[in-house]
Amino acid sequence: MRKAIFTVLAAAVAWAGLWSGSGRTRAEEAVLLFDPPVGAGPAILELRLAAVAERCGWGPGWAGRLQITTEDGRSIPAQFLPAPRMDDPAADLTAACEDGSGTLLLVLPDPPPNRVLLRPQSAEMTEMTSRPAGDFDGRVDTPHFTVIHLRERGGFFSSLYLKSGGKEFPLRFADRVHSRDKGSFLAASDAEAEVVQLASGPIATAVRTRAGYKSGSGEPESHPWAVYDWVYFHDAPWVWIRGRAAQSTPFPWDEHHFLELQFSQETAAEWLGGEPVQRGRFERATKSHPLAEAAVILDGPNALGLASPGNVLIYDSPGGDGHYIQSNGDAAWQPWETGILDKSAWLFGFSADDPAARLASIRGELPKAVKAVVTTDEIHRRIASGAEKVSPVVAGLARQLEAAGRWDEALAAAEGRLPDRFTVLSAGRAALVCERGTDGVIGPTLHAAVDGRAITGDRLPLFTVNLRAVGGEEDATLSSEHGWQDFAVTPDPGDRSLTLEFKTPADSRLHGLGVVARAAADEPNDAVRWTLQVQNSSKTWSIRSVRFPQTVILEPGADGWLVYPKAAGVAEQGVWRRALEFGGRYPSGWVTMQFTAAYPQDGRSGLYLGVHDPFGGTKELRLHSLPKDHLVEYTVEHWAEGMGTAGNTFQTSGEVVWRLFDGDWFDAAQIYRQWVRQEARWYPELGPDGRSDTPLWMRELSIWALGGGAPGECVESVRKFAEYFGLPAGFHWYNWHQIPFDNDYPHYFPTKAGFAEGVRELQSHGVHVMPYINGRLWDTRDRGGEDFEFTARAKPAVSKDEKGEPYIETYNSKEEDGSPVRLGVMCPSTPLWQETVRETVLRLFSECGVHGVYIDQIAAAAPTLCMDRSHGHPLGGGHWWTQSYWQLLEAIRRSMPKDRMITTECNAEPYIRWFDGYLTWHWQYPDQVPLFPAVYGGSVQMFGRSYGGTGSGLLPSEEAGKNRDTALRMRAAQQLVFGEQIGWIDPGVLQEEDNAAFLKRLVTLRAKTARYFYAGEMARPPRLLGEIPKLRADWQWGGTMWVTTDAVFRGCWAIPREKRLLVLAVNAAE
């Protein structure tokens, strides 16, 4: 039987309606409601239409006859592309899914309608072009491109001809899955791929291809495969490409690469892209360039590019034949094991004399992914009518059910008959909605009681418990959403809380495990406070980790904000519509606190999500955006105590808080600050002058120099540095020891000759010396190339993984034979390490006379999951790591002279009480806000920024030296308003007259106002009215790091008990 493919052509005809006779009721009409409203022009929607087709009586074959009109009968160009079946790698490529899912292409008129009608045309009204799929030769010829999809190359094309410039781009597609154990398997290695033309209509020609991931040696046992849709727009030079990957059986791949287009040096000599835009040449430099959202490769005026969520990756290969441009660069190295992997990107081309300007314009022209509710006119009318008579929360729930296609339940809710499966917990202006499913609980979700707006979604289960069979490799999971024979949602008497109890897993292997989650309403604070307990009486299973809470943050508006605790804090706008990937292990320098917040621009209530764990236990925080759906996933994973032990249990430390709040990032920080001050075990005692246990000289310090080596290499330059500023200065002295840096640790003594004398010389001139030591590492070959004491002494105290192997780290340091220095991560609970660090610090104070000691990495590096039973701490997770460091540091503080101080790297919060200062050198990111100072200002001295910046990747009009000067002024100004002690800079800056003068003005001002920073707290930074010019510079953090800020930096600090306020404004422009 010959398979027909269809062409969708929107007919510009008036709709007569489906009437069955005079005086009779007409059929229901299918309606698309755009939410939020969309703009004019091309758009892409993901829809499921089977339910509405059945309700409206469309009949068979509707997908090929779909017509979209405005309510006044105007036809809208449209094409519907049915989604492929991904449950069977041999399914008909043109067959529609049972749920009627697919992609709708639209060109919306100006002004755009908020709703349109969906109607199938009658067969005689539809112009169809059909032909056997076997006749398609893979050639696509549009006004802009010519390509040929090749069955023997996985359905990919081997070149693209750009008609506007007459340029042929030879290409190799390296789309693949990769495993460290099994290697790489490429879709292009499938020599028998399937290629069909799916549709050719008024908007685009669509090609669908299917290929298995293969290599010369065959294909993996899991049989991974992919279906690609290539949508070539007729009226514009772009192609929308969507790839879906699946595998027959689960296998944990380490990488999945989508649209990796390889080419040679002869194809393109330059690259361009990013935001702000960067440009460079292919120089065989073995270097990657991650460029935000869009990039092109250039051959003169001719450009071929990709646009995708996150970064487009440009790779400059050493051989010149393996350069590539790759979409979805952030996601390529993410693991994939189960489910359908769904990625999309835009391929585009142009020829332009000013490619940077054309790239900027084409990014704005690309069709937007929009959202719409599929319903019928009658259903929507009834729900809208009933919503006026029920509470805003129930009305909002009815609208959600309508959008989900659960129309009977939506109508019942709108009529005041809330289905029994729903339970609502009121918490002031917030409401928690909990839905019982067939074998678990869906959600719960948080709503605004005032307007019924859903704040969170139900895409993720509330919790997931990860288990492993003791003594084996068998893993299992339990989630709140599925897999329970016995579960209940029980409101407590008085409706002040809900108990979610999960008693009997459906998997008989897991009997003996149960979960109890409790949600308590906090009406005065518009909050829900969660606790969770996992019971485990099993003799087989050990709890490894518990992901709780898990929820989806709904978009608070197209211009909504998300703030998260990366370094100082980052507040980004619009991340629901572009790629965001933030995550890591807490506590560390890059996951510094335990809260995040989302809020709209228009002043409506925002969402605060906090883990109020007073011990700072080990956990993973993750935020992951889903731009196609305008969602952000939020997950916290707690590593369990007793990992590897059967029958271990889990209970949240403290509470998890979901709360509505008014304001922005600063207001969210005040919520967390209030909790920290009341309950966090690491918060220090503060008096009228701040930290009385920190020497006054340290609290008043305003400028830091950075350097090191032998005294003859640094003492004189640092003395002149302090003399220039005319104020006490701090000096962070590296390489004062005879051993190389990051080598032979922890054998720091003897010092270099004259070190103690150099310390005395500097401190007699008002310079407070602070040498470097490391607080975590012991070199495995700790005397040159010799294993001196590591195996004999240190190895028993090194932290170890589940196989009993030491955790080893390497950095840039090398052994004498050129091999990397391998450094063991010491377990802070062990007496050996506690005494080793303590002895080193006290020797520096007593023998060398230094005023401070810097103990590296403690507030920077995340805890390890140590599994060494001989150490005596709980195995794996929990809060023993932080408490062990508290014990180590407390012993140092008890013994050190009262006029001395200790500091560490970065700003993980749970060590504040035991340190006098945090080196904030890594506060280097775009969109930074002083989230950490807003919580902890006045409780610890924050000092130092890395002042790199040579300006690589600059545009031709941007001078490297000018860039560096701009970056310096931006950093220094931000340091002042964030409350940091300024500098951590090479004394050679004095040779740069303008830069030195700028720094001196800031340092002098800070010294005069220092008491606000150590005895006060941060107040809300002021806002300036009017249009403020921007500054832009490459801060050169980890390579290229473009940062754009207002030219005027603002800050505000207060001493509330004295009713004093300091307002700061720094113009960092030239």
Q: 301-357, pLDDT tens digit by residue?
A: 999 999 998 889 999 999 878 999 999 888 899 899 888 999 999 999 999 999 999
Query: Length of the chain, please?
Result: 1070
The answer to whether residue 514 scores a pLDDT higher than 70 is: yes
Q: Select from 2.70.98, 3.30.70, 3.10.290, 3.40.1000 the CATH code of 457-679.
A: 2.70.98
Rounded to whole angstroms, the Cα distance separating 678 from 909 reads 15
Tokens of 728: 């006490």
Pairing of strands 270-273, 260-263: unpaired
The answer to whether residue 10 scores a pLDDT higher than 50 is: no
Residue of 720, 803, 719, 807 lying closest to 769 (CA atoms): 719
What value, to the nearest 5°, has the Cα angle with vertex 133 and ends 132 and 135?
70
How sure is the predictor about 25, in pLDDT bands with cuts at 50, 70 and 90?
very low
Give the other-Cβ count within 10 Å of 843's Cβ. Answer: 14
Instruction: Tell me which of 179-183, 432-436, 564-568, 738-742 is least confident.
Output: 179-183
How sure is the predictor about 125, in pLDDT bands with cuts at 50, 70 and 90?
very low
* pLDDT in the model for residue 622: 97
Residue of 902, 913, 859, 912 lying closest to 881 (CA atoms): 859
Burial of 321 (0-12, 13-18, 19+ CB in 10 A): middle
- The conformational region for residue 1053 under phi > 0 = left, psi -120 to 50 = alpha, else beta, is beta
The answer to whether residue 665 scores a pLDDT higher than 70 is: yes
Residue of 201, 275, 31 lying closest to 1041 (CA atoms): 275
Ranges 5-19, 31-45, 451-465, most confident? 451-465
**How many alpha carbons lie under 13 Å from residue 772 in its C-beta half-sphere?**
22
H runs (alpha helix) in 645-710: 665-679, 696-700
Tokens of 187: 């879709």
The answer to whether residue 8 scores a pLDDT higher than 50 is: no
What kind of fold does domain 696-788+826-863+880-1067 have according to CATH?
TIM Barrel (3.20.20)
Burial of 270 (0-12, 13-18, 19+ CB in 10 A): middle
Rounded to whole angstroms, the Cα distance separating 1053 from 977 reads 9
- The predicted model gives 462-487 an average pLDDT of 94
For 234-340, where are the E strands, in sequence order?
238-247, 255-257, 260-263, 270-273, 278-281, 287-299, 302-316, 323-326
Q: 958 with 933: CB under 8 angstroms? A: no
Instruction: Tell me which of 365-374, 424-433, 715-724 is least confident.
Output: 365-374
End-to-end CA distance of the chain: 75
Rounded to whole angstroms, the Cα distance separating 610 from 989 reads 42
Q: 799 with 826: CB under 8 angstroms? A: yes
* pLDDT in the model for residue 9: 30
Give the other-Cβ count within 10 Å of 369's Cβ. Answer: 19
Rounded to whole angstroms, the Cα distance separating 683 from 857 reads 20
The pLDDT tens digits of the residues spanning 78-95 come to 999 999 999 999 999 988
The single-letter code of the amino acid at 323 is H
Rounded to whole angstroms, the Cα distance separating 275 from 280 reads 14
Instruction: Tell me which of 179-183, 533-537, 584-588, 726-730 is least confident.
Output: 179-183
Rounded to whole angstroms, the Cα distance separating 992 from 970 reads 16
The answer to whether residue 15 scores a pLDDT higher than 50 is: no
* pLDDT in the model for residue 35: 77
Instruction: Tell me which of 20-29, 493-502, 552-561, 871-880 is least confident.
Output: 20-29
Tokens of 810: 């390497």
* pLDDT in the model for residue 568: 98
* pLDDT in the model for residue 123: 52
For 317-417, where are the E strands, in sequence order?
323-326, 341-351, 368-369, 372-376
Burial of 388 (0-12, 13-18, 19+ CB in 10 A): exposed
Kindly list the domain boundaries of the chain, sorted by start residue.
30-125, 137-352, 385-448, 457-679, 696-788+826-863+880-1067
Residue of 1049, 1055, 987, 984 lying closest to 1017 (CA atoms): 1055
Residue of 619, 626, 562 lying closest to 588 (CA atoms): 619
Mean pLDDT over the full length of the chain: 92
Tokens of 570: 């980052």
Rounded to whole angstroms, the Cα distance separating 671 from 979 reads 20
* pLDDT in the model for residue 97: 84
Residue of 711, 729, 774, 694 lying closest to 985 (CA atoms): 729
- Residue 562 CB partners (closer than 8 Å, separation 6+): 553, 571, 572, 575, 576, 580, 596, 597, 598, 623, 632
Q: Cis omega (within 30 of 0) on the bond before 684?
A: no
- The predicted model gives 40-52 an average pLDDT of 91
Residue of 850, 858, 904, 899 lying closest to 881 (CA atoms): 858
What is the value of pTM for the model shown?
0.91
- The predicted model gives 147-151 an average pLDDT of 97
Q: 132 with 111: CB under 8 angstroms? A: no
Rounded to whole angstroms, the Cα distance separating 502 from 725 reads 65
- Residue 455 CB partners (closer than 8 Å, separation 6+): 430, 445, 446, 447, 448, 553, 554, 556, 605, 607, 660
The answer to whether residue 132 scores a pLDDT higher than 60 is: no
Rounded to whole angstroms, the Cα distance separating 77 from 67 reads 8
Q: What is the DSSP string of 353-372?
A: SSHHHHHHHHHHHSPEE--E
Residue 749 phi, psi dihedral angles, 5° rounding: -100, 145
What kind of fold does domain 137-352 have according to CATH?
Beta-galactosidase; Chain A, domain 5 (2.70.98)
Q: Do the domains at 457-679 and 696-788+826-863+880-1067 have one common CATH topology? A: no
The answer to whether residue 494 scores a pLDDT higher than 70 is: yes
Rounded percentage of the chain residues whose pLDDT exceeds 70:
95
* pLDDT in the model for residue 627: 86
Pairing of strands 368-369, 41-48: parallel
Q: 551 with 457: CB under 8 angstroms? A: yes
* pLDDT in the model for residue 654: 97
Q: 402 with 414: CB under 8 angstroms? A: no
Tokens of 271: 């690259």
The answer to whether residue 237 scores a pLDDT higher than 70 is: yes
The H or E element spanning position 846 is helix 831-848
Query: Does residue 100 sit in helix, strand or coil?
Result: coil
Give the other-Cβ count within 10 Å of 889's Cβ. Answer: 24
Give the other-Cβ count within 10 Å of 238's Cβ. Answer: 24
The pLDDT tens digits of the residues spanning 912-971 come to 999 999 999 999 999 999 999 999 999 999 999 999 753 334 444 445 557 889 999 999
Comparing 562 with 34, the larger pLDDT belongs to 562
- The conformational region for residue 100 under phi > 0 = left, psi -120 to 50 = alpha, else beta, is left
* pLDDT in the model for residue 368: 87
The H or E element spanning position 895 is helix 880-895
